[in-house]
Structure 1
Amino acid sequence: MGGNAGPATGSKPVGALILGGAHGALAAARSLGRRNIPVAIVSDDFTLVRLSRFISQHFSWSGPAAPNATTTLLELAARHGLQDWLLIPGGDAEVRLIAENREALRAAFRVMSCGWADLEAVCNKRLLAERAAAVDIASPRNYRIASEAAATTLELQFPVVLKPAQREAPNVFTLAKAWRADSREEFVARYREAAAAVGHDQVVVQELVPGGGATQFSYVALWQGGKPLAQMTARRTRQYPVDFSYTSTFVEVVQQPEVSAAAQALLASINFEGLVEIEFKYDTRDKLYKVLDVNPRCWTWFGLGEAAGVDFAWLMFCAANGNPAPASVIDDGQKWIYVVRDAIASLRLMARGDLSWSDYRASWRGPMTWAAFAADDPVPGLLEMPLTLYRVLTKRLPLQRRKPVAQIDPDARRAGV
């Protein structure tokens, strides 16, 4: 482990408190823990992060949406000596909690976040399209639909995609992340189910931007004072599910100046502060990079930054404590893989003829960061599969049993099932 300890308050070292999260939060814990910085986690679930040897304390709570969430955090700080610790959001609901209550939380913690009024303009997909247009950034065409009656009559160019405006509460729609509809009948059925899950005003309907992994890019960064302290771009080459990603499975560092410029313009327009991943897709029809999603938290492949020379967790810790950010030199040859899900995604792509065996083997060449396994912290990687199976059986399957009849697997559709 590194020998860089965190700053001390009195005789006690200052650390980081991670709120929720999974693989990205695990990578953040490892980054700081390797530098002898104390790391604790607060969660309402048994997460992979708890298994890391770099987690010194774990606290259970009712979740970030609970009415007493802010009070709970302040009480934890007072009771367990977490004063001046850095708060790191690991999930969407945790992002909103910190942004809405940042002034109250700053009485006990170090907080890097802008207010929710600004943040919602990019976190809410309906509002994101408006903000992007205001700063001349392309986004998929949005259809304004606020009722089932409109869903049956509005002129649409199929296929279309239905997305939740925000993904803060788990349900069949938010867990799926997106549903595709290829016909009016299928669209109306899916819209009805989506509206029942999140409400009419939270259903976003967009055109489907064609293209696979070669067209999917992300900008990731740490911002403070209205500008980036560190930034990087990557291609999300493979994902699971293969059509609408619940999670990236294979990511490569690439230089993409157009994506970086668009992302910086978007973030500067809200005076952004904190960690962020912004997803883009290149539309070959009009040759534009279109913004899809903004995630101001630890993203799934957060560990790729450290491997590529941009250690975002350490940089955030330094910035929050008023220390100069270390210089970063990006290694373009680095890759990240979520092995189990990537194997499934790759097999599906091969079955569709979108990935050859030789290309799959070639993607494994070069330095690789694993989503869960690390030689100096092996337990999360070793127990990931049984923990994932447990979560699927106890959480995802009960929700998916309630999915609409019209929600057909896109791979099955192509096979004519």
Structure 2
Amino acid sequence: MTAREACAESEARDGRGPPGAVVVGGDYIALGVVRSLGRHGVPVWVMHDGLHVCAAASRFALRRLPWPVDEAGRLASLRELSTRNGLRDWVLYPTDDESAALVARNHEALSGSFRLTTPPWAVLQWAYDKRLTYGLASRLGIDHPWTLYPQSCEEVAALDCTFPAILKPAVKAQSNRFTRARAWRVDDHRQLLARYAEACELIDPSLIMIQEFIAGGGEAQYSFAALCADGRPLAWLVARRARQHPVDFGGHGSSFVETVDEPEIEEAAHRLLAAIGYNGLVEVEFKRDSRSGRPKLLDINARTWGWHTLGGAAGTDFPYLSWRLAQGAIIPTTRARAGVRWVRAATDVPAAMGELKRGRLSIGEYVRSLRPPIERAVFALDDPLPAFADVPWLLYRRWRRAWDGTIFLRTLGLGDVTRRN
């Protein structure tokens, strides 16, 4: 930490400078929050698990602190951190589903220690549990994929559903190959039974959903992203998630995103967030069904999302606007401009190669997609170190995905593919 940074941190803690922020998470999503705030002169501390170090490597991260493994330890660590360091007016940013759920469930206790960007559990649960999400969408008349909720292998064996379909966890309270993959595609009844049995070994069967598979690539994938107050978006954008890796379900997240004008997406998302009474940062995911031409609701991410830094380039710097709102500032209604792009090169190259092989992308289209204005997910001239710190994590993710695939093939009785190859 430089002398200037130490002075800024000291001023923030004793009330002479702007209050700081505590960012929970170490990956590129957290990095975007750290950079957004740091570039505006907000002191930032990062709590991370030691595996994700991208955000902690940023020059804007003034302190790096451990994030405990268990929920009780995490809650105690946050409260002690605030009490010991006098961080009452500092803003807390969870950057994944589980840290957001932790804050939401303990909203009253943590609101005495920080200013929160996360709504209480009574609100956040509508996004966290997809069973509640789809139930609310049905009542509001918002299209979503047909979804079944079997409770046993016997119920699955008796199902008569169309294929292809997907298996999907209703919540992601733990990390395993099923929750990491986001969804498993099944192409026939035999594969459905095998994958359902495998999923039952990983999570509670009551949390496993069987859902309609909506065909289409990136041209059909949209998101509405916003900063909300009492269910009303203050700053927002609509984006097309044109490429993701892996191509089918994007377990590693979107790799190329661009802002677009899609009034139908806006209208549905506005109604949904108003019904929830949502506060804070949120991303609502849709996919347009080519059969009906209508977008269908997929997910609600009740925290910062992978490509949130696109907002800064398009006129809606979501983390900083959220920090200002937490400090009591009036945020003017702002809609991001269309035609701005975001890329995470490390995953977009393999994503583009997959689209090229499928004939859904040409080399010329790929090159043109990277024209300015474009925001990079990790690399930045004013903060280069995180790009190097991200490499070990990417290699680990690639290894883990290969290992998860090997386990799947074994469940289908295809033996040890690592030995065969």
- TM-score, normalised to structure 2's length? 0.91
2:190 to 178, 185, 190: 185
1:319 to 310, 314, 325: 325
> What residue in structure 1 maps to residue 277 of structure 2?
271
Could you list the per-position Cα deviations for residues 97-141 of structure 1 after superposition, in whole angstroms to 9, with x for gaps in the alignment? 111011100111001332213322222122211111111111000
Shift of 1:10: 3.0
Work out the CA distance in 1 between the residues paired with 2:243 and 2:333: 30
> What residue in structure 1 maps to residue 171 of structure 2?
166
**Aligned-CA RMSD value:** 2.2
Aligned-partner residue type, residue 32 of structure 1: L
> What residue in structure 2 maps to residue 147 of structure 1?
152
Work out the CA distance in 2 between the residues paired with 1:258 and 1:203: 30
Aligned-partner residue type, residue 389 of structure 1: L
CA contact (8 A) 1:172 1:402 kept: no
Aligned-partner residue type, residue 180 of structure 1: R
1:15 to 6, 20, 44: 20
SS at match of 2:174: coil
Work out the CA distance in 2 between the residues paired with 1:84 and 1:24: 23
Q: In the comparison of the two structures, how many residue pairs are matched?
A: 404
- 2:136 is aligned with 1:131: yes
SS at match of 1:269: helix
Work out the CA distance in 2 between the residues paired with 1:142 and 1:328: 35
Aligned-partner residue type, residue 98 of structure 1: V
CA contact (8 A) 2:55 2:386 kept: yes
Work out the CA distance in 2 between the residues paired with 1:160 and 1:256: 27
Q: Residues 406 and 361 of structure 1: is their aligned pair in 2 closer, same or farther, counting only changes over 3 Å?
A: farther
- 2:354 is aligned with 1:348: yes
Work out the CA distance in 1 between the residues paired with 2:324 and 2:234: 11
CA contact (8 A) 1:224 1:272 kept: yes
- 2:234 is aligned with 1:229: yes
Shift of 1:68: 3.2
Aligned-partner residue type, residue 192 of structure 1: A
- 2:364 is aligned with 1:366: no
- 2:120 is aligned with 1:115: yes
SS at match of 1:204: strand
CA contact (8 A) 2:258 2:340 kept: yes
CA contact (8 A) 2:235 2:335 kept: no
Work out the CA distance in 2 between the residues paired with 1:370 and 1:197: 35
2:36 to 28, 31, 41: 31
> What residue in structure 2 maps to residue 298 of structure 1?
304
Aligned-partner residue type, residue 366 of structure 2: Y
Aligned-partner residue type, residue 159 of structure 1: P
Q: Percent identity?
A: 38
Shift of 1:353: 1.3
Shift of 1:389: 1.4
> What residue in structure 2 maps to residue 46 of structure 1?
51
Shift of 1:330: 2.5
> What residue in structure 1 maps to residue 336 of structure 2?
330
> What residue in structure 1 maps to residue 418 of structure 2?
none
CA contact (8 A) 1:22 1:300 kept: no
- 2:295 is aligned with 1:289: yes
Aligned-partner residue type, residue 165 of structure 1: A
Shift of 1:399: 5.4
Shift of 1:9: 5.2
CA contact (8 A) 2:34 2:44 kept: yes
Q: Residues 160 and 19 of structure 1: is their aligned pair in 2 closer, same or farther, counting only changes over 3 Å?
A: same
Q: Residues 200 and 404 of structure 1: is their aligned pair in 2 closer, same or farther, counting only changes over 3 Å?
A: farther
Aligned-partner residue type, residue 205 of structure 1: I
Shift of 1:75: 0.1
> What residue in structure 1 maps to residue 90 of structure 2?
85
> What residue in structure 2 maps to residue 58 of structure 1?
64
Shift of 1:253: 0.6
CA contact (8 A) 1:33 1:39 kept: yes
Could you list the per-position Cα deviations for residues 301-354 of structure 1 after superposition, in whole angstroms to 9, with x for gaps in the alignment? 011000111011111011001012256462322100011211101111111112
Q: Residues 25 and 265 of structure 1: is their aligned pair in 2 closer, same or farther, counting only changes over 3 Å?
A: same
CA contact (8 A) 1:333 1:366 kept: no
For 1:233-272, what aligned pairs fall within 5 Å after superposition?
A: 233-246=238-251, 247-272=253-278
> What residue in structure 2 maps to residue 411 of structure 1?
none
Deviates more, 1:40-49 or 1:226-235: 40-49
Work out the CA distance in 2 between the residues paired with 1:407 and 1:294: 32
SS at match of 2:92: strand
> What residue in structure 2 maps to residue 381 of structure 1?
387
Work out the CA distance in 2 between the residues paired with 1:11 and 1:46: 35
Aligned-partner residue type, residue 375 of structure 2: T
SS at match of 2:410: coil
SS at match of 1:211: coil
- TM-score, normalised to structure 1's length? 0.92
1:310 to 316, 337, 359: 316
SS at match of 2:298: strand
1:73 to 50, 58, 78: 78
Q: Residues 306 and 214 of structure 1: is their aligned pair in 2 closer, same or farther, counting only changes over 3 Å?
A: same
2:215 to 210, 215, 221: 210
Shift of 1:364: 1.4
Structure 2 residue runs of 5 or longer lacking an equivalent are 414-421
CA contact (8 A) 2:26 2:47 kept: no
SS at match of 1:197: coil
Work out the CA distance in 1 between the residues paired with 2:332 and 2:26: 26
CA contact (8 A) 1:21 1:91 kept: no
SS at match of 2:224: strand
CA contact (8 A) 2:153 2:196 kept: yes
